Structure 1
Amino acid sequence: MAPLTDEQVQRFHRDGYLVLEGIFSPQECERMKQEIGKILEEMDVPSHCRTEFSTQHEDQLHAQGNADYFMTSGDKIRFFFEKGVFDEKGNFLVKREKSVNKIGHALHAHNAVFKEATHKAQVQETGRHLGLKKPVIVQSMYIFKQPGIGGEVTPHQDATFLNTEPLGRIIGFWIAVEDATEENGCLWFIPGSHRAGISRRMVRTPPGTFPLTEFVGKEPKYDEDQFVAAPVPKGGLVLIHGEVVHKSEQNSSPNSRHAYSFHVMESEETKWSPDNWLQATPELPFPSLFT
């Protein structure tokens, strides 16, 4: 891969996102899919922790067991499920491998295949060309967008959930493990929206209270006409500024839309908010992107 051009860097800073094609080979993408298949085969999730993932706070953290499972996932590999895949007793209504919304949040640390993808030389070079000095990896996720049931992700800013002081220090690296099209739920962005700051934050509540997080501020309603689709073929990489507004639609197609995503923070002269749901642990300090 050739280094980012000056024009591409300028476009990223102008629009808040950038699509790069051909960063990962078909073989690398298939290796990630096969590894996820192995992880799913070994999936063992307690029934009370069969969490339906949603960007809606009241759905995401609707019970103490589920809340703890989510809040302590930053240094582990855990499973989060689509809506409607369990009956009232927590039994699967669909095949187990088709039930998962995402796996997070430390694949980059605990799995060799995803650690290799995260630290791929071209990824590191991309970070350097964006001007990153001391980037650290704060989380990673494998996102499925299951055929027919893959839920929408409502408009949001990543900095709502991963807040830094000052702002502008979070970048998402979103890898298309499969083709991401308008039909199966590709990303949509409001170009330039990262320059307006953030509208809300998800913060920890005081110890001993429930729910364990709450939102401060309110997500505004966005004009749908402002969003621009960002389809990307298998092996492509989408760079996402932490404050750019983006979304994805429900996958109503027969084709899945697998993606591997991780977020990095420029740690130089940056404070990671102690109010963030995700915190580094003694077992897993945020590792450097550069090796």
Structure 2
Amino acid sequence: MSSPDLAAYARDGFLVLEDFLPAAECAALQARAAELVAGVAAPAHRTVFSTEDQRHADDRYFSESGDAIRFFFEEGATDRPTALALNKIGHALHDLDPVFDRVSRRPELAALARALGLQRPLLLQSMYLFKQPHIGAPVDWHQDATFLYTQPSTVTGFWIALDDADRGNGCLVALPGGHRGPLRRRFRHRGGRLSTEILDATPWPALEPVAIEARRGTLVVLHGLLPHASAPNRSSRSRHAYSLHVIDGRADYPDDNWLQRPTLPLRGFA
């Protein structure tokens, strides 16, 4: 990263790096995701992932997925074939699958993490995001630190476009500079279940949202406190993406965070 890149990231809370992942690597992730999906037996129960009502929080299939590879469906798509009904695969692809492991631990990502000030980067969470044609659900405004909380806040998102992402098929949208505000919510274990705790009821800052259109292979870096969202995909085009979240191992990662890895210790880029 150049000094202007670092300055832009500090100012906006996000950074767009085009042509970061070669086309062959994008294709490898998409092909591997298709293989994983093809190997999924038709489930008797389909866990639906929705950012609007968080009903999945009460499902152990979701709450115990931090050290597993599991498949989550779009709301209203339970009668579709699995390949056309999935919302995402998560949350330990980077540790449990060799193709995702190789891409997640590319030297360029390790160098980027160091440039951003993560002195002891640990790869915490990964997701393959489908954003299916016509039914891809919106993602509400949120901060990644709501779900992946550290003290101090260190979570950083690496979001890679595997298809061209634009306004038509539900690209990311962000509030530039919004990362300088407080953390609004925490999604955590409380009273034996997962729930969202309001930390600060202040409305999102009155900033003009920016659509982050990204060609295939583009990396979008997201500050953990940056408010961001995405619109639904009502187009006939898919909008696949790969998302990796990294934290600094020097920070405290509380035991009440929703994502726990009791059988899989966190690893860095090496």
TM-score, length basis structure 1:
0.89
Runs of 4+ in 1 over 3 A off after TM superposition: 218-225
Counterpart in the other structure of 2:119: 133
Q: Aligned pair 1:56/2:52, yes or no?
A: yes
Q: Aligned pair 1:163/2:145, yes or no?
A: no
Deviations 1:123-164 (A, max 9, x none): 111112212210001110000000000000010001111111
Q: Which of 10, 33, 56 is matched with 2:30 structurally?
A: 33
| Two-structure CA RMSD over aligned residues (Å) | 1.6
Counterpart in the other structure of 1:74: 66
Q: Aligned pair 1:240/2:242, yes or no?
A: no
Residue pair 2:42, 2:82 contacting (<8 A) in 1 also: no
Q: How many residues align?
A: 269
Counterpart in the other structure of 2:267: 287
Cα separation, partners in 2 of 1:233 and 1:162, compared to 1, 3 Å: same
Tell me which amino acid in the other structure corresponds to 2:88: K
Counterparts of 1:224 and 1:69, CA distance in 2: 37
Q: Secondary structure at the match of 2:167?
A: coil
Tell me which amino acid in the other structure corresponds to 2:65: S
Q: Aligned pair 1:194/2:192, yes or no?
A: no
Percent identical among aligned pairs is 39
Q: Secondary structure at the match of 1:31?
A: helix
Unaligned runs of 5+ in 2: none
Counterparts of 1:197 and 1:41, CA distance in 2: 42
Tell me which amino acid in the other structure corresponds to 1:33: Q
Q: Secondary structure at the match of 1:102?
A: strand
Unaligned runs of 5+ in 1: 87-92
Counterparts of 2:245 and 2:41, CA distance in 1: 26
Q: Aligned pair 1:42/2:39, yes or no?
A: yes
Tell me which amino acid in the other structure corresponds to 2:41: D
Counterpart in the other structure of 1:229: 211
User: How far off is 1:122 after superposition?
Assistant: 1.2
TM-score, length basis structure 2:
0.95
Q: Which of 109, 132, 137 is matched with 1:146 structurally?
A: 132
Counterpart in the other structure of 2:169: 184
Cα separation, partners in 2 of 1:114 and 1:126, compared to 1, 3 Å: same
Counterparts of 1:81 and 1:220, CA distance in 2: 32
Residue pair 2:178, 2:205 contacting (<8 A) in 1 also: no
Counterpart in the other structure of 1:213: 194
